[in-house]
A = this chain, B = another copy of it.
Amino acid sequence: MITVGYCCNFIDNIKTTLNEYNEFGYDYILAPLIHPKCSEFIPFSEVFLAGKDRNKVVMNIPKRNFRFRQNVRLLEKELNFAGHAGIQNIILECPDDHESIENMAMIIHRKLNPQSETNDHHNLAIAIKLSMANNKNQAQELRKDPQDIDVDYEWKKWNHLRKIMQFHPNISIALEVNGELSDSDRLNRWLGEPIKFIILPTSVFITNSSKFPVLSKVMQSFMGQVNFKMAGNFSIIIKGNNLHGHIKHYCQYIAHLQKTELFSDRLQKFCQYYEDLLQYPLQPLKDDLDSSVYEVFETDLIKYQQYEKAIRKALADIQKDVIIAMVVGAGRGPLVDKALKAAHAVGKFIRIYAVEKNTNAVITLEMLRELKWGGYLGLPHGYVEIVSCDMRCWSAPERADIIISELLGSFGDNELSPECLDGVWNYVNQDAICIPQSYSSYLCPVQSQRLYAQLSLDKRSNINAYEYAYVVHIRNAYFIDKPKKVFTFEHRRGDLHRPPSTRDNNRKKRLTFRSKIPAICHGFVGYFDCCLYGDIRLSIVPSTQNSDMYSWFPIYFPVQTPFDINDGHDDNDQIEIQITRNVNDLHVWYEWTISRPIQSRIHNLNGKHYSISLH
């Protein structure tokens, strides 16, 4: 459930006010902690707040000119007091001029990075208040002609601030929304930022036929998008005078809105709590997969439906009645099941060798053979043999007509499908079919403080978290440009029996991207698509992805230093990246280097940080 708070302009008695709004249905109040009549710092003493009520007060710090030393001092006192009183959440309005932003950022940054390691109990979360469209304020403040207004000014203030604070994970945005929701690129850029609070003035509500406050369709849809992009991790604050009967109606409407279709998410069941969480990619060659990992993968209906269709087509194309199939990397047997079903469907007999190197999974395969696949007698349409062996070392008793595997990772070849399938060459027929037939990886530049901020928390020794790749169910991000194709691997019919020495799995690719609006690039997101057989495909590339398939999350390649990108037409208004795939006897690894608009280091040089083991 999304919580709803109310923004109080001033507070006479904090306990009474909190109780009042709690009764109206609000979860918390946003309140200034400085008495409105006093310029002095006289906060309401925390002794009037019971421990359980501490998290029901968000401290509101209004916009100030931090070029004045006394305002900086006041801010320090307010932050200290919040820590002292156990008030964890603070909303701090962003000033307009650069010097104020810098002074403010310095104070916050100092507070979030205390010198002493033992004294880190002040775990403040600070949201910077910004207006989605601040044009009028901007014109007033800077006495500019409205013609000169920079529509990106408010976002640029934030971008400036968070760069000073090195994208600290405790910094987020409190975004005040007005009625104007026209420019979709700029809207999407906001949605790629870590929004913790959406502030809704009562004036953006319209009145329905029953005189109750509601949001327009456009605004409803926007709120649904915020919910999706933040994976439900945000809160709504109502602000301003009651314009619709009773102040509680706003809160009731938000409760109602959350129950609508706009706030639902079909894949949530499988992916919840994984949103924007960086995970280390699997290394299936080096580490045996756990049962729970197999279990999750096996539940992906769409993926295996596609496999079954592809196998059926391929079996029909093989001009034999008895077909020798090898499922290489059989796991706990889902592709064996699908191959048996496909043979039954096309009326052929299939002899399947299920080859698996994980001895724990082999136990399950043997059990399934007994219980489901007819044991040593077999089924009318097929017979299964279990082979406990690495596919690259197996001395097969006969040659295969078809090789079936599921060795693809989020970036296609990153779980070493090419190297594994190189190992089957001496036990296949000349015209053997390979499922999958080919696969390609894709990359696009991404802006996402949420992803990047997690890297600073990575505690692995000897590994630079910024030169590693991560599997992640991305939500809170802005995609700066469309994905472009990177590496392709093909296993064509008639090619499979050629020895590995005739192939080269090293790759190199240079790509360029542009941005429609000013943005900051925190790295690159990778995807893959794949031709299983004929026109049967698997894809996680957004434009072509199979819907409801959740076996693969995208991959994230960070950059050490995020860089700004402009919307102009110079060479330096484009992003240029070179990525290589490198193979030696022990490992495969990627290296990535940005050459525009800035020149970066070669990330992961020699696979020092992230390499995929061949053994």
Residues of A at the B interface (CB closer than 8 Å) are: 42-43, 45-47, 51, 54, 77, 80-81, 83-86, 116-119, 121-122, 280, 283, 286-288, 290-292, 295, 332, 358-361, 363-364, 367-368, 459-461, 463
- Given contact pairs A47-B368, A85-B360, enumerate 17 new A-B contacts (beta carbons under 8 Å): A42-B363, A45-B363, A46-B291, A46-B364, A47-B364, A47-B367, A81-B360, A83-B290, A84-B291, A84-B358, A84-B360, A85-B290, A85-B291, A86-B290, A86-B291, A116-B286, A116-B287
Residues of B within 8 A of A86 (CB): 290-292
B364 touches A45 (CB 8 A): yes
Q: Complex: how many Å from CA A43 to CA B364?
A: 10
**Which of B54, B77, B119, B283 contacts A119, CB < 8 Å?**
B283
Residues of B within 8 A of A80 (CB): 288, 359-360
A295 touches B43 (CB 8 A): no
Residues of B within 8 A of A117 (CB): 460-461, 463
Q: List the 7 shortest-distance A-B pairs measured between CB atoms, nearest first.
A: A84-B360, A118-B280, A45-B367, A46-B291, A45-B364, A86-B292, A85-B291
A47 touches B332 (CB 8 A): yes
Residues of B within 8 A of A116 (CB): 286-287
Q: Complex: how many Å from CA A122 to CA B293?
A: 13
B290 touches A84 (CB 8 A): yes
Q: Complex: how many Å from CA A515 to CA B42?
A: 58
A336 to chain B, nearest CB (A): 14
A176 to chain B, nearest CB (A): 30
Q: How many copies does the complex hold?
A: 2
A51 touches B292 (CB 8 A): yes
A363 touches B121 (CB 8 A): no
Residues of B within 8 A of A363 (CB): 42-43, 45, 81
**CB closest chain-B residue, reference A85:** B291
Residues of B within 8 A of A288 (CB): 80, 84
Q: Complex: how many Å from CA A84 to CA B292?
A: 8
Listed by A's residue number, 21 A-B pairs whose Cβ atoms lie within 8 Å are A45-B367, A46-B291, A47-B364, A47-B368, A51-B292, A51-B295, A77-B359, A84-B288, A84-B290, A84-B291, A84-B361, A85-B291, A86-B290, A116-B286, A116-B287, A118-B280, A118-B283, A119-B283, A119-B286, A121-B290, A459-B459
**CB closest chain-B residue, reference A80:** B360
Residues of B within 8 A of A368 (CB): 47
Q: Complex: how many Å from CA A332 to CA B84?
A: 12
A287 touches B364 (CB 8 A): no
Q: Complex: how many Å from CA A291 to CA B49?
A: 11
Q: Complex: how many Å from CA A459 to CA B118?
A: 11
Residues of B within 8 A of A461 (CB): 117
Q: Complex: how many Å from CA A361 to CA B83?
A: 12
Q: Complex: how many Å from CA A363 to CA B288?
A: 60
Residues of B within 8 A of A77 (CB): 359
A53 to chain B, nearest CB (A): 12
Residues of B within 8 A of A361 (CB): 84
Q: Complex: how many Å from CA A100 to CA B368?
A: 36
**CB closest chain-B residue, reference A49:** B291
Q: Which of A42, A43, A332, A364 has the most B CB atoms < 10 Å from its CB?
A: A364
**CB closest chain-B residue, reference A368:** B47
A455 to chain B, nearest CB (A): 15
Q: Which of A45, A290, A359, A461 has the most B CB atoms < 10 Å from its CB?
A: A45
Residues of B within 8 A of A121 (CB): 290
Residues of B within 8 A of A122 (CB): 290
Q: Complex: how many Å from CA A262 to CA B278?
A: 47
Q: Which of A42, A85, A368 has the most B CB atoms < 10 Å from its CB?
A: A85
**CB closest chain-B residue, reference A361:** B84
A605 to chain B, nearest CB (A): 19
Residues of B within 8 A of A84 (CB): 288, 290-291, 358, 360-361
Residues of B within 8 A of A287 (CB): 116, 119
**CB closest chain-B residue, reference A613:** B116
Q: Complex: how many Å from CA A358 to CA B80?
A: 10
Q: Complex: how many Å from CA A290 to CA B81?
A: 9
A78 to chain B, nearest CB (A): 11
Q: Complex: how many Å from CA A364 to CA B85?
A: 11
Residues of B within 8 A of A54 (CB): 292
Residues of B within 8 A of A286 (CB): 116, 119
Q: Complex: how many Å from CA A532 to CA B470?
A: 60
Q: Complex: how many Å from CA A84 to CA B359?
A: 10
Q: Complex: how many Å from CA A77 to CA B388?
A: 15
Q: Complex: how many Å from CA A80 to CA B84?
A: 49
Q: Which of A121, A360, A367 has the most B CB atoms < 10 Å from its CB?
A: A360
Q: Complex: how many Å from CA A388 to CA B332?
A: 70
A556 to chain B, nearest CB (A): 15
Residues of B within 8 A of A292 (CB): 51, 54, 86
A388 to chain B, nearest CB (A): 13
Q: Complex: how many Å from CA A523 to CA B363?
A: 47
**CB closest chain-B residue, reference A287:** B119
Residues of B within 8 A of A358 (CB): 84
A127 to chain B, nearest CB (A): 21
Q: Complex: how many Å from CA A364 to CA B54?
A: 16
A13 to chain B, nearest CB (A): 13
Q: Complex: how many Å from CA A119 to CA B283?
A: 9
Residues of B within 8 A of A364 (CB): 45-47
Q: Complex: how many Å from CA A364 to CA B43?
A: 10
A495 to chain B, nearest CB (A): 34
Q: Complex: how many Å from CA A522 to CA B364?
A: 45
